[in-house]
A and B are shown apart, each in its own frame.
Chain A
Amino acid sequence: MAPSDHRRPYKRPAISDQQRRRDHSLLRQAQNRLDAQQRARCLASSILSLENPETDSVPDLDSTTGQEQSEVPPKEFDVRQASKLRGVEARRWFARQLMLPEWMIDVPDRLSRDWYVFARPAGKRCFVVSSNGATVSRLRNGSILHRFPSALPSGSRSRDASGTSQSYSIMDCIFHEPDQTYYVIDILCWRGYSLYDCSAEFRFFWLNSKLAESGACGPPSQYHRYRFSLIPVYNCDHNGLSAAYMGAVPYVKDGLLFYNKEAKYQTGNTPLALVWKDENCSQYVIDTDNQGNIPIQQQEHKISIDCLSKERDKMRSIYLPNSDILSLYIWNANRMKWVVLELQDDGKLNTSDDPPVAFGCLDSDFVHKSGLHSGNLLRFSIGDNGLSFMEERLDKADLCYIGKSNRARAFADSYSKIVFQHMVRHSPLKMDDFLSSITSSDDQENQLNDIEMTG
C-alpha cells in the first residue's frame, strides 16, 4: 500500500548464471528428448530381423569375431550400434540393409506409369551414414570404405558444434572412383526421419529437396571431403527411357535401374527394383567376356577346378522338381558362368532370394568329405544340360561344383541374376523390348480412354 521502492538495478554485472544453468539443462533435456523421439520414429522401422532374435545378449564388441554364439546382436539395434560391429557380424548386418534389385528377366506391366528409370553409376555400392559429427561409408560386406567429414546433417564437427544431436542420416550410394563422388541412389533416413516405409516416389522427392539444401552437393572442402551428387531419375516413358539409356551423364554407366514408384525401401532382394544392362550402357554385362576368359580375380579358382576335376561327375547334381520337361533354353557350356549358391543343412543349394529358390542339392557324403558347412557359399558352373524352364519358371539346373566362393562374398547369387546372365547369352531383353512394351501399353490405355470418351 505504500508507494513501491523505485530503486533500480545499478551497475550490476548482469550475470544470472543460475538461470542460465537451468536454461542450459532444459535445453539439453529438450534436445535429448527430441533426439530420443526422433530415434524412436526411425528405429523400429529400421530394426533388422536378424536370425535368432531370442538371444538378447549384447555382443561383446571387443571379442574376436569367430565365435558364432556372440555374433547375434540384440533385436533392438540401430545403425549407430551396428557401426560398432566388427567382422562377420558387421558384414551380415550391412549385407541385409541394402535394397537389392532383381535382374530384369521380363518387362513389368505398366512400365511407363508405375516405374522410374535411371542410369546406374559404375562403382562401389555402399551405405553412407552421417551421425555425431562424422560420416562413414560402408560397402555391402560391411567393411568401411571411407570415414570423413561431410556437409550431410551431423556429418561433420563443424556443423554441430554442440555435438549433442544424435540424429543421423542414411543414404544408399554408389561411390564412383573416377570423379571421387558419391552418387546417391536412394535415401533411408534423414535427420532421424525414417523413410523406409515411404514410397520410392516420396523418397526421391525428399532426396531431391534435401540433399542440395544440405550443401552436400557442393565441392569438397575441409569439412566436406567428398562431393555427393543426385542422379536424374525419369518416368519410365519413351523419353525417360531414352534419356536414361542414351543421355550423357558425368559418370560411367553400369546398366539401368528401374524402381517401382510405390515400393517401400525393402532390404534384401526385391522385384520392385530391377536392374538391366546391355553392352551399350555397361561394360560389365557378362561375368566372363565373349572369348570365355575369366576376369583376373577369378583365376585362382580355376586351379581348384583342376584339382577337383576327377571328382566332377560325382559332384554333379540334377534338380528335377517337375518331370514334365519343356526345355526353353539350353546353357552353352563353352561360355562358362559361375553361379554362387548357399549350402543348407539339408544339402539344398539356395539363391539369396527370400524365399530362396533351390537350384540343386548336394549329397551329405560329399558335403562331409569336402569339409563343407551349412551357410557356405559355393561356386558352381552350369553343366551341359544348362537351365531348363517350364512356363517361365526354373525347372531344371545342371550344376557342377567348383569350390568355395571368394571370402569377400557375403551372399549367394539371386535367382534373377542367374537367369538374367543366362538370358544375356541366349535371348537377351533389348531396349526395343522396353520401348515396344511402353508403346503397346500406351496404345491400350489410349484405347480405353477412347472408349470412355465415346461412351
Chain B
Amino acid sequence: LTSHPEAIIVLPRHKIMKMSVLQEINPNVRNMKPLEYSILAGRLSQIKEELRQGVKKPYQEVLDVYMGDPHKGGVKPLSFVRQVLAACLYPQLVNSSKLPADVRQRAQRLLGRCDGGSVGSYTATRGIPETLIRVSEFITRRDGGVPSNPENIFLSPGSQWSLSILHVLLNPESSPRNGVLSPVPCHNTTTMSVTGLGAVVVPYYLSEEQGWELQVEELHRAMESAKGVCNPIALYIVNPGNPDGHVQSRKSMQEVIRFVSERKLFLLADEVYQDYVFGENSEFVSYKRVLSEMGPPLSDTVELASFHSASKGWMGECGLRTGYMELVNLDPAVMKHIFTMFSTDTCAPVLGQIALDLMLNPPQPGEPSYPLYHMETQNIKNTLAGNGKRAVEVVNSLPGLCCQPLEGGAFAFPKVYLPPSFIQKAKEAGLEPDTFYCSRLLDEAGLLVGPGTEYGQKEGTYHIRFCILTSAEIMEEVLTRLTCFHKQFMKDFS
C-alpha cells in the first residue's frame, strides 16, 4: 500500500495527483492541537512490546493512569449493573435462577421497553422514553425538588457527543468567529471540539494558589481579551474540575450565573464528576439547582446545558459510551433543530442507556441486590477518598511537587518544578518540558501520566495529571513509583 511515485505535472487543481494531501483537508481539523498523549502512546506500545519479549526493566508492567478510567485502574464494575446487562443481552438468564430476583425483574422491565424486546434495536432518538423519565426523576431528587422535564433530556454516546450542542451554538460562517470561554486547566477533548468546529477557545485561568478556584474577575478579563479576536457565545465550566479537582462553592456558581446572564453567554456545565466529592467542606450542587434557587428572572432566562455520564459515578462504565444532557430555557424553535440533528445519529448505545437507567435508579434497601451494591459502592467511595488523601500527602512530601487540596473529581494535578537544565534537555528533544518529564517517568518507572501541557497551564509552570480513581493497591504502587522516580530526578537535575 505504498504511494506510487509518479511525476507531478502542473495540472488544474482538480488534477493534482494525490487527493488527500495535508493542504487539502479541513483546516479546522488541521488546527486541532494534537494530543501530547500520542507522543507518549507510541512509546507506551513500544515498552509493552519490549516487556512481552522479555526485555529487562525495573518494572514488570506499565501502570497507565493517564485517563479517568476506573476499570483500567483496577476498580471493579458493580455486580448489579453487570448482572442486569448480562440478562438483557441473553434473556434466557431472566428465567434462570442464576441471578438475583431483582436483577431479573429489572432486566425484564428494561427489555420490555426495547422494541422487539431486544437491546439490538434502535431506541427513540433522545433515548428510551421511560429511561428519560428516570433521568428526570433523578435530577429532581438530586436537586431538592427542582422540576426536570424529560422532554429536555437527550441521551448520547458519551458526554463528548453532548457537546454536539456546541455544534448548534457555533456558527462556522460567522464573522468574527464565535468563541467559547474555557477553563485553564481543562481536559483537552473539549477544546479540540471547539477548534474543530472553527471557533476560538477563550481561556480563563483558574487560581492555582487558591485551590484552583474560579474568580469571576478572571472571567471578565477573559471577555476583554476576546475583544477584536472573536465573539464569545458560551462559557464552558467543569464542576467538579478536571483535572484540578476543585468543587465550586454556591457563591461562586451564583457569580458565574450572573456573569453569563449579563454577558449573554450560553452556559455549558460539565458535571460528570458530581459523585466524586470528598473534600471536608465540599458539596456538589448542580448549576440547575443554583439557577433555580436564584429565582426569576435568571431562572427563566439563563440558557443552560448540563452533562452527566455513565463513564463516571460508582459504575465507571467508560466503555459503554453513554451520557445525558439536560437543556434548560432553550428556545423551542431551536430545540426542534437540536432534535433533528440528534436524530441523524439515530440513538445512543442501548446497553449504555440501560446502564444509565440503573446508575440513576439503583437498588434500594430491602431489595436482594442492595447489600452487595451498597458494599461495593461504599468501597469505591472510600477508596477514592483515601486515594485522594494519600496522593496529596505523598506528592506534597516530595521536593519540587506541590498539589492543591483535592476536593473532588478523579485526578490529582500537582505542579512540578522543572530545573532549567531539564527544560533545556526537553527543548533539545523537541518536547514540551512536562511531556519530557512524563516520557522519562514512563521509560524509567513504567508509569504513564499526563503532562500539564495537555490541559493548559500558566506560562512557565508545569504539571502532571494522574487518575486517582483506582484500586488502593494500584494507587499505592503509582505513588511509590512516582516517589522513586522523582527523588532520583531531582538528584539528577539539580
Task: Say whether A associates with B.
Answer: no
